[in-house]
């Protein structure tokens, strides 16, 4: 068997692994990255980017469809058609550009990339099966960045009409009726997109409200918008399986009453699990947190010089978290003192309207003496001009010194406010800092300033 050695060996070329590789190489660390599928991982190939591309295409289609009816704007068009094959091709083009870009960045930084599946031999040795051979690579540091996989329902496994987000992002044809199991991130982002593409969509969610990870007030505008769109919500319901003909999903509500939802496709989106089995990881006997690899605040595992980042290390399973961890691990290995202790970890759900949370919600801050205030987009001029007045911005701050602890927002386009929210928290801004900053007019950002002003008791436009 051919052997090689390297200083840092990274398993997984997703956002966690490839960012770690680039930063390590920038710092002069000899780095090898192993990727079994495609560079860019879940995020670029079958996650963040393709889903946002499909959501955009669905938004555009829905907009033109709206104009084929009565429009207050005075715009009228004939009924549009969608060639979903062409849409998928366009989406794949974006994915190709980005994954190609990651390859080019790795090459530019002199990271050795090996395309093949890795199997762990021990904490310093990994075998890689490439298309032509098996290599044995020894390393000083081993970084685990193998990501996650969709959770399967044992009684309704993936296959046939039952699909995961991966298949939902590359439809050959659109189904007529889709049942979405899970009213979380994927279920609602893709469920909304499919509905806008003309598919009849029903969402079955085990908890009695959608997006249960967020506070209820924040998700109300999303629930209202889903209703307007015609998405049927079956909340507090459990899925029992497919009917015998595989033409419907059997569900049971809170009272135990069973019913069937007709479907020619079923998207199961009930969470993701860390990819920790099937490639020898078990042989390291690392300390685990359930199915996730346990790491400390430097992403060290329980074995010396074995590190883990990204989805393998548990919630929140977000691309930017994996990237930030990867960058930090590279810096620690290079000798810098770093800890992963972000005050602000933004999370965005790209529904329509979008939802953003950064830092503490009022409930999470309840033990501290806090105040919170919100400003509705109904009172924001820019929101009116883009026909989107649903939603609000909310700020949470300490009562004594007005230090900002959290922001939440729901509304069209609020994902772009996440940068301002995270920066204000990381920089230790107070309500007065935000209230005293001149915000451009007319922008959604004015609602951020007004929320801070309102918390101080003197909002101007409400």
Residue (48 or 365) nearer to ligand FAD, CB: 48
Task: Give the nearest distance from C-beta 234 to ligand NAD in angstroms.
Answer: 9
Q: What secondary structure does DSSP assign to 333-378, as a single string?
A: HTT-------S---EEE-SSSEEEEEE--TTTTTTS-EEEEEEEGG
Q: For residue 43, state whether it binds ligand FAD (rule: CB under 6 A).
A: yes
Cα 355 from chain centre:
12
Residue (122 or 315) nearer to ligand NAD, CB: 315
Region from 93-101, 170-178, 314-322, 424-432 binding ligand FAD, contact rule CB under 6 A:
314-322
Residue in 10, 53, 186, 431 binding ligand FAD, rule: CB under 6 A: 186
Residue in 35, 38, 127, 189 binding ligand NAD, rule: CB under 6 A: 189
Binders of ligand FAD among residues 218 to 247 (CB under 6 A) are none
The angle that helices 48-67 and 185-196 make with each other, rounded to 10 degrees, is 30
Q: Which does 14 bind (CB under 5 to 8 A by kind): ligand FAD, ligand NAD, none?
A: ligand FAD
Residue in 124, 234, 275, 454 binding ligand FAD, rule: CB under 6 A: 275
Residue 407, SS3 per DSSP = strand
Q: For residue 50, state whether it binds ligand NAD (rule: CB under 6 A).
A: no
For the record, the structure tokens of 363 come out as: 């409930």
Q: Which does 17 bind (CB under 5 to 8 A by kind): ligand NAD, ligand FAD, none?
A: ligand FAD
| Active site annotation includes 285 | no
Q: For residue 37, state whether it binds ligand FAD (rule: CB under 6 A).
A: yes
Residue (11 or 393) nearer to ligand FAD, CB: 11
Distance in angstroms (rounded) separating the CA atoms of residues 256 and 238: 9
Task: Give the nearest distance from C-beta 332 to ligand FAD in angstroms.
Answer: 18
Contact of 154 with 170, CB cutoff 8 Å: no
Binding mask 417-456 for ligand FAD (x = CB under 6 A): ----------------------------------------
Dihedral of CA atoms 432, 413, 442, 451 in degrees, nearest 10, equals -30
Task: Give the nearest distance from C-beta 206 to ligand NAD in angstroms.
Answer: 4
Residue in 14, 16, 50, 184 binding ligand NAD, rule: CB under 6 A: 184
Q: For residue 310, state whether it binds ligand FAD (rule: CB under 6 A).
A: yes
Read off the DSSP letter of residue 246.
S
In angstroms, the Cα distances linking 181 to 156, 161, 202, 206, 232 are 11, 13, 9, 9, 12
Choose the catalytic residue: 89, 320, 339, 441.
Answer: 441
Residue (114 or 318) nearer to ligand NAD, CB: 318
Pairing state between β 134-144 and 125-129: antiparallel
In angstroms, the Cα distances linking 160 to 112, 246, 251, 324 are 39, 9, 19, 37
Q: Which does 199 bind (CB under 5 to 8 A by kind): ligand FAD, ligand NAD, none?
A: none
Nearest to 446 by CA among 426, 417, 406: 417
Q: For residue 318, state whether it binds ligand NAD (rule: CB under 6 A).
A: yes
Distance in angstroms (rounded) separating the CA atoms of residues 296 and 260: 46
- CA 242-159-180 angle, to 5 degrees, is 55
Residue 178, SS3 per DSSP = strand
Residue (331 or 352) nearer to ligand NAD, CB: 352
Residue in 103, 322, 353, 391 binding ligand FAD, rule: CB under 6 A: 322
Contact of 117 with 128, CB cutoff 8 Å: yes
Q: For residue 286, state whether it binds ligand NAD (rule: CB under 6 A).
A: no
Residues in touch with ligand FAD (CB under 6 A): 11-17, 34-37, 41-43, 47-48, 51, 117-118, 145-148, 165, 186, 275, 279, 310-311, 317-320, 322, 350
Catalytic residue set: 441
């Amino acid at each position: 068997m051919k052997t090689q050695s390297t200083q840092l060996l990274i398993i997984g070329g997703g956002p966690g692994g490839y960012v770690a590789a680039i930063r390590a190489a920038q710092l002069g660390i000899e780095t090898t990255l192993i990727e079994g599928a495609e560079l860019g991982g879940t995020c670029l190939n079958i996650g963040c980017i393709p889903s946002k591309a499909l959501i955009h295409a669905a938004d555009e289609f829905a907009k033109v469809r709206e104009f084929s009816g009565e429009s207050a704007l005075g715009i009228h068009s004939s009924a549009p058609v969608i060639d979903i094959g062409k849409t998928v091709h366009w989406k794949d083009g974006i994915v190709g550009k980005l994954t190609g870009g990651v390859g080019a960045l790795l090459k530019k930084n002199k990271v050795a990339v090996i395309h093949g599946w890795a199997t762990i031999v021990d904490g310093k040795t990994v075998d890689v099966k490439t298309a032509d051979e098996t290599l044995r690579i020894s390393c000083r540091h081993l970084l685990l960045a193998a990501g996650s996989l969709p959770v399967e329902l044992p009684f309704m496994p993936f296959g046939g009409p039952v699909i995961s987000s991966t298949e939902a992002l590359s439809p050959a044809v659109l189904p007529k009726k889709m049942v979405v199991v899970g009213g979380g991130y994927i279920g609602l982002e893709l469920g909304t997109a499919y509905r806008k593409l003309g598919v009849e969509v029903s969402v079955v969610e085990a908890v009695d409200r959608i997006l249960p990870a967020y506070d209820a007030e924040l998700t109300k505008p999303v629930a209202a918008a889903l209703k307007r769109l015609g998405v049927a919500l079956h909340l507090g319901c459990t899925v029992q399986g497919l009917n015998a003909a595989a033409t419907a999903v059997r569900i049971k509500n809170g009272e135990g009453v069973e019913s069937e939802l007709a479907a020619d496709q079923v998207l199961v989106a009930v969470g993701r699990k860390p990819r920790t089995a099937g490639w020898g990881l078990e042989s390291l006997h690392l300390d685990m947190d359930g199915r996730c690899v346990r790491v400390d605040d430097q992403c060290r595992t329980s074995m010396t010089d074995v590190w883990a980042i990204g989805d393998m290390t548990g919630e929140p399973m977000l691309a930017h978290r994996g990237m930030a961890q990867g960058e930090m691990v590279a810096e620690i290995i290079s000798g810098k003192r770093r800890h992963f202790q972000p005050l602000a970890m933004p999370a965005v759900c790209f529904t329509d309207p979008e939802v953003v949370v950064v830092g503490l919600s009022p409930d999470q801050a309840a033990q501290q003496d806090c105040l919170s205030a919100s400003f509705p987009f109904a009172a924001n001029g820019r929101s009116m001009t883009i026909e989107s007045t649903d939603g609000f911005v909310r700020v949470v701050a300490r009562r004594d010194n007005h230090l900002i602890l959290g922001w939440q927002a729901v509304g069209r386009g609020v994902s772009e406010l996440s940068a301002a929210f995270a920066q204000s928290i990381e920089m230790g801004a107070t309500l007065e800092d935000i209230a005293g900053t001149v915000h451009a007019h007319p922008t959604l950002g004015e609602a951020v300033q007004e929320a801070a002003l309102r918390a101080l008791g003197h909002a101007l436009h409400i």
